[in-house]
Amino acid sequence: MTSYIGVAGASQAAASLIALAETLGRRLAEAGATVLCGGGEGVMTAVSRGAQEAGGTTVGLLPGADRSSANPYLTVALPTGLGEGRNLLLVRASDALVAVGGGFGTLSEIALALRTGVPVIGLATWGLTLASKPVTAFPVVETPEEAARLALEAARDRPAKRQ
Amino acid sequence: MTSYIGVAGASQAAASLIALAETLGRRLAEAGATVLCGGGEGVMTAVSRGAQEAGGTTVGLLPGADRSSANPYLTVALPTGLGEGRNLLLVRASDALVAVGGGFGTLSEIALALRTGVPVIGLATWGLTLASKPVTAFPVVETPEEAARLALEAARDRPAKRQ
Amino acid sequence: MTSYIGVAGASQAAASLIALAETLGRRLAEAGATVLCGGGEGVMTAVSRGAQEAGGTTVGLLPGADRSSANPYLTVALPTGLGEGRNLLLVRASDALVAVGGGFGTLSEIALALRTGVPVIGLATWGLTLASKPVTAFPVVETPEEAARLALEAARDRPAKRQ
Amino acid sequence: MTSYIGVAGASQAAASLIALAETLGRRLAEAGATVLCGGGEGVMTAVSRGAQEAGGTTVGLLPGADRSSANPYLTVALPTGLGEGRNLLLVRASDALVAVGGGFGTLSEIALALRTGVPVIGLATWGLTLASKPVTAFPVVETPEEAARLALEAARDRPAKRQ
């Protein structure tokens, strides 16, 4: 069965992040994964474009009640009408999650994934501290190639049945 | 842009309904629609199988937290972890909805579609009364071919932007 | 422990329904129940007012992201930001549900309650048919006093633990 | 109108956090606020107990489908059946949020609050970094008294109408 890899990232992002996201999408699609994201602009557009250009299947979980915010690189665009509630849907539907960049929505997806046992890979994203000391809650990588590789491995190793 | 047609129907259904659902899925896929359903057994399996065998794209919005309940005819299987909350997602993501058979989940999808302005077509499904008088809230058809035709027309006529 | 009785009803309703709902709220509160509703106008205002005037606790589960649509008779007003998704929340949080009147939102709450095993009592609300024959899926009563009585009984008999 | 203050915190927590949470609940209730939380054990029990002993109204938004996980200090216990989806509900329903301790669920509530414009006050909770540099996204305080004071101020200053 194909792996579903979620990519969390903001609608506004620096050009360097956009480039990372596009490569990430391409690599995931080349490996046969279905790529899930929020379906909007910025990181979401880039990862969708990268994946679709590599022949992959892309799914966007949109926050609004219609498809007007969908980017043009989605195989399937699903309006949820849940606002930020779609962030949890993205996490639920992903076998592993790559978090790209520093949006608060992305942070919520990291947290929900950690909470619900979805493996997270970080790429130029948030770090955490407790009592001013760094906490390593998930692996952080430097390149989209490594993010794709780790996410695909984590997805493969994840038990099929879960709560 | 492709139309997204949701098909509501129960996991346990009579053989006659199963046959209707499979033909419905085939017709929708032949017309180029993306077919959405709850992704489970019964009517959901039949409509997915019909659509996939005709080369269509099928999406299952699963109630649980993993893909163990997904039928084998889904292009994209999305666990939502929302239980019956996925019924609203199915309605939200559909440009038009075909309701097949008499489950209570199906009734909830009919009601949520009527409430949120998603066109509904009924096929061997619930009727409504108020003060013991029949209320015609949506068109009812006799064949899956006609259900597909009306749903595709309604989806085409629906405004792209909505609340 | 107190019973939680949900009341489903539309924001626009005839004066006769409003009167029924107010009496229903009063009776439920007199019996010590916590009254849940959508928190808006019409039937929701009436049932909240009746319950609050009888000294009861009232909870409104609002569809929007703020309290601007809350009626003034709520002990607790909770914006959900889920739109019609709050209908499922109302059902989930209720030990029994009284459906008043003929809105489509109310129909969705009846259906979700039937689907998830929450007892439903109907008062001047929808009836159902299948293949043109009436289906009795829940008891229908003529007076708010009887609706309150049956709902409280059903809530008391419901198992505390459920899925 | 009363302020609704959400308190995010884990079901398992050190004794020092439990003591902070109980004082926090007491202060919020003394100031007339309605206290919202996840309704479970640990920090949630402590804040509910503190608030209820001070005569306040407490609301628990439970993850499961019934009230079996509710702590005994809730005025209103609402099963949501949404699992971690209830975290977003807590944020949506709060005029301001106090985050206590270092659970991942708490981190998700911080992130969702920052994303949706709900003021956050931190008490012995997560800190954030980007590119290894600390990011101050919300005020952090040392005592529950100060947390209560800042949260109540932030709630008072928040616009009533929002998206």
> B81 at the A interface (CB within 8 A)?
yes
D34-37 sheet: strands from edge to edge: D76-79, D58-62, D34-37, D4-9, D96-100, D120-123, D140-141
Given a contact cutoff of 8 angstroms between Cβ atoms, the answer to whether D43 and D21 are in contact is yes
Q: Which of B59, B66, B80 is closest, CB to CB, to A76?
A: B59
Give the residues across from B98 on adjacent strands. Answer: B7, B121
Question: Residue C85 and residue A82: Cβ atoms within 8 Å?
Answer: yes
- pLDDT mean over B19-24: 98
Strand B4-9 relative to strand A126-130, pairing: unpaired
Q: How far apart are CA B57 and CA B40, in angstroms?
A: 16
Q: Which of B57, B92, B161 is closest, CB to CB, to A68?
A: B161
Strand C133-135 relative to strand C96-100, pairing: unpaired
- D66, D80, D82, best to mutate vs chain B, most B CBs in 10 Å: D82
The pLDDT, as a whole number, for residue B163 is 60
Q: How far apart are CA A34 and CA D27, in angstroms?
A: 49
- pLDDT mean over A47-71: 97
> A83 at the C interface (CB within 8 A)?
yes
- pLDDT mean over A19-42: 98
Task: Report which DSSP code applies to A118.
Answer: -
> D88 at the A interface (CB within 8 A)?
yes
Q: Please give the full DSSP string across D47-98, using - where no structure is assigned.
A: HHHHHHHTT--EEEEESSSSSTT--TT-SEEEE-S-TTHHHHHHHHH-SEEE
CB pairs under 8 A between A and B: 66
> A92 at the B interface (CB within 8 A)?
yes
Q: Which residue of A has its CA nearest to D105?
A: A115
The pLDDT, as a whole number, for residue A159 is 81
Instruction: Give me the amino acid identity at D146.
Output: E
> A65 at the C interface (CB within 8 A)?
yes
Tell me which chains share at least 3 CB pairs under 8 Å with chain C: A, B, D
CB pairs under 8 A between B and C: 83
- D62, D68, D78, D80, best to mutate vs chain C, most C CBs in 10 Å: D78
Q: What distance lies between CA B67 and its chain's CA centroid? A: 19
Instruction: List the one residue out of B51, B115, B63 whose CA is nearest residue B89.
Output: B63
Tell me the C-alpha to C-alpha distance, in Å, between residue A146 and each of A113, A123, B49, D130, D140. 19, 9, 37, 19, 35
User: Is the pLDDT at C160 greater than 80, yes or no?
Assistant: no
Q: Which helix (H) or strand (E) holds A60?
A: strand A58-62
User: Is the pLDDT at C162 greater than 80, yes or no?
Assistant: no
Q: How far apart are CA D94 and CA A102, in angstroms?
A: 24
| Residues of chain C with C-beta less than 8 angstroms from the C-beta of D73 | none
Sign of the C-alpha dihedral computed for residues B109, B112, B118 and B119 taken in this order: positive
pLDDT digits (tens, 9 = 90+) for B90-144: 999 999 999 999 999 999 999 999 999 999 999 999 999 998 899 999 999 999 9
Q: Which residue of C has its CA nearest to B86?
A: C85
CA angle C20, C25, C26 (to 5 degrees): 100
pLDDT digits (tens, 9 = 90+) for A62-115: 999 999 999 999 999 999 999 999 999 999 999 999 999 999 999 999 999 999
pLDDT digits (tens, 9 = 90+) for B53-78: 999 999 999 999 999 999 999 999 99
> A16 at the D interface (CB within 8 A)?
no
Lowest mean pLDDT among A7-21, A148-162, B123-137: A148-162
> C55 at the A interface (CB within 8 A)?
no
Contacts of C62 (CB under 8 A, 6+ apart): C38, C39, C40, C69, C70, C77, C78, C79, C80, C86
- A62, A80, A82, best to mutate vs chain C, most C CBs in 10 Å: A82
Tell me the C-alpha to C-alpha distance, in Å, between residue C112 and each of B22, B110, C135. 26, 11, 16
* Average pLDDT of chain C to the nearest whole number: 96
Given a contact cutoff of 8 angstroms between Cβ atoms, the answer to whether D41 and D66 are in contact is no
Q: Please give the full DSSP string across A33-50, using - where no structure is assigned.
A: PEEEE--SSTHHHHHHHH
Q: Shortest Cα distance from D43 to chain A (angstroms)?
A: 17
| Residues of chain A with C-beta less than 8 angstroms from the C-beta of C65 | 83
> A64 at the D interface (CB within 8 A)?
no
Q: How far apart are CA B28 and CA B121, in angstroms?
A: 13
Instruction: Give me the amino acid identity at D134.
Output: P
The pLDDT, as a whole number, for residue C4 is 98
Q: Which helix (H) or strand (E) holds A130?
A: strand A126-130
User: Is the pLDDT at B79 greater than 80, yes or no?
Assistant: yes
* Tens-digit pLDDT string for chain D (163 aa): 799 999 999 999 999 999 999 999 999 999 999 999 999 999 999 999 999 999 999 999 999 999 999 999 999 999 999 999 999 999 999 999 999 999 999 999 999 999 999 999 999 999 999 988 999 999 999 999 999 999 999 999 988 777 6
Question: Residue B66 and residue A93: Cβ atoms within 8 Å?
Answer: no
Q: Which of B85, B107, B127 is closest, CB to CB, to C88?
A: B85
> C137 at the B interface (CB within 8 A)?
yes
The pLDDT, as a whole number, for residue D158 is 86
Question: Residue D160 and residue C67: Cβ atoms within 8 Å?
Answer: yes
> D105 at the A interface (CB within 8 A)?
yes
Q: Model confidence at C161, in pLDDT bands (50, 70, 90)?
A: confident
pLDDT digits (tens, 9 = 90+) for C79-95: 999 999 999 999 999 99
- D58, D88, D89, D97, best to mutate vs chain C, most C CBs in 10 Å: D89
Q: What are phi and psi of A123, to 5 degrees?
A: -135, 105
Question: Residue D76 and residue C66: Cβ atoms within 8 Å?
Answer: no
Question: Residue A93 and residue B75: Cβ atoms within 8 Å?
Answer: no
User: Is the pLDDT at B37 greater than 90, yes or no?
Assistant: yes
User: Is the pLDDT at A136 greater than 80, yes or no?
Assistant: yes
- pLDDT mean over C55-64: 98
The pLDDT, as a whole number, for residue A163 is 60
User: Is the pLDDT at A138 greater than 90, yes or no?
Assistant: yes
The pLDDT, as a whole number, for residue B90 is 98
Per-residue burial over C138-150, b if 16 or more Cβ lie within 10 Å, else e, is bebbeebebbbbb
Q: Which residue of A has its CA nearest to B34?
A: A76
Question: Residue B92 and residue A79: Cβ atoms within 8 Å?
Answer: yes
> B66 at the D interface (CB within 8 A)?
no
